Amino acid sequence: MAGSELTNIKSPRVKAARRLTKRAFRDRDRSFLAEGPQAVREALALDGVVTELFTTAEAEVRHADIVAAARDADVPVHRASGEVMAELAQTVTPQGLLAVCRFVHVPLERAVTSGARLVTVLAHVRDPGNAGTVLRSADAAGADAVVFTDASVDPYNGKCVRASAGSLFHLPVVTGVPVAQAVRELQAAGLRVLAADGAGTRTLDDVDLSGPTAWIFGNEAWGLPEEILRLADDVVRVPIYGRAESLNLATAAAVCLYASARSQRTGSPVPAP
């Protein structure tokens, strides 16, 4: 790359990458953008996922190990001017590294097997930041898979990818599956399906979480509709011990997932209050 730098924001290469900020083009090209050193590093750890890497001269020096890993994997590396990186990036202050990646999601039957112990299902979740944070929490809690149902946000949305902090590349992700189908297959695989909802008559303190469990989390504003609540084996709410009206989606999901993870690892059927 010495002596060569992309400086024209209207160049075909830049325009081809830039259009991946729109879902229609992502779906058509089966590709998306991963921005920042953490996401790019994790994407490169998966063979064949990264197809191009854009880097500023400064980032090439600062993150020399990532750029070297890309070259070692025969990924084309393009040095870009600050103006070009600002055009490609979807953040106010770009970090100077941006990868074009192939889709990484898998079919439901591959992600949910008889050995699965903890699965997250996002139903009608529309906010990409929340969805990415739930994905990150699921990864941290040791979940086996995350299912984005057909009415939920695109996991390849730039904000969702950033909020996942690389977790998108760590565990099986399923997309576009109807909620009813996901529930049927989860139950067939031996998982107890719990709907997290403030309308639940039982709390986390009242249920046995030591067995294989799938959690359904709903829309940020209106939770889960009645037809989805009826699909679940039980409806559970997070207990509120203080005066807060409720928890936001990402926080509630983290609490539920860690309650399951703790019970499964300690063998304790009911989490301590």
| Whole-number average pLDDT of the chain | 93
Per-domain boundaries in the chain: 12-102, 108-266
pLDDT band at residue 2 under the 50/70/90 scheme: very low
Q: Which residue has the higher pLDDT, 39 or 270?
A: 39
Q: What is the mean pLDDT of residues 12-19?
A: 94
Given this structure, which CATH class describes domain 12-102? alpha beta
Whether domain 108-266 has CATH 3.40.50.150: the reply is no
What is the DSSP secondary-structure string of 153-186? PPTTSHHHHHHHTTGGGTS-EEEEE-HHHHHHHH
Q: Which residues sit opposite 122 in a β-bridge?
A: 148, 217
User: Is 108-266 in the same CATH topology as 12-102?
Assistant: no
pLDDT of amino acid 90: 84
Residue 71 has pLDDT above 60, yes or no: yes
Q: Give the tens place of pLDDT for each residue, 184-234.
A: 999 999 999 999 998 888 999 999 999 999 999 998 888 899 999 999 999
Q: What is the mean pLDDT of residues 56-79?
A: 96
pLDDT of amino acid 271: 47
Long-range contacts of 228-233 (CB under 8 A, 24+ apart): 228/123, 228/179, 228/195, 229/195, 229/197, 229/199, 231/179, 231/180, 231/183, 231/193, 231/195, 232/183, 232/193, 232/194, 232/195, 233/187, 233/192, 233/193, 233/194
pLDDT of amino acid 201: 86
Tell me the percentage of the chain whose pLDDT exceeds 70: 97
Q: What is the mean pLDDT of residues 50-66?
A: 96
Phi first, then psi: what are they for 205, rounded to 5°? -75, -10
Q: What is the mean pLDDT of residues 75-91?
A: 92
Q: What is the mean pLDDT of residues 144-149?
A: 97
Q: What is the mean pLDDT of residues 110-138?
A: 95
pLDDT band at residue 116 under the 50/70/90 scheme: very high
pLDDT of amino acid 269: 61
What is the dihedral sign for C-alpha 221, 177, 158, 29? negative
271/273 Cα distance (integer angstroms): 6
pLDDT of amino acid 272: 45
Q: Which of 87-91, 154-158, 164-168, 247-251 has the lowest mean pLDDT?
A: 87-91
pLDDT of amino acid 217: 97
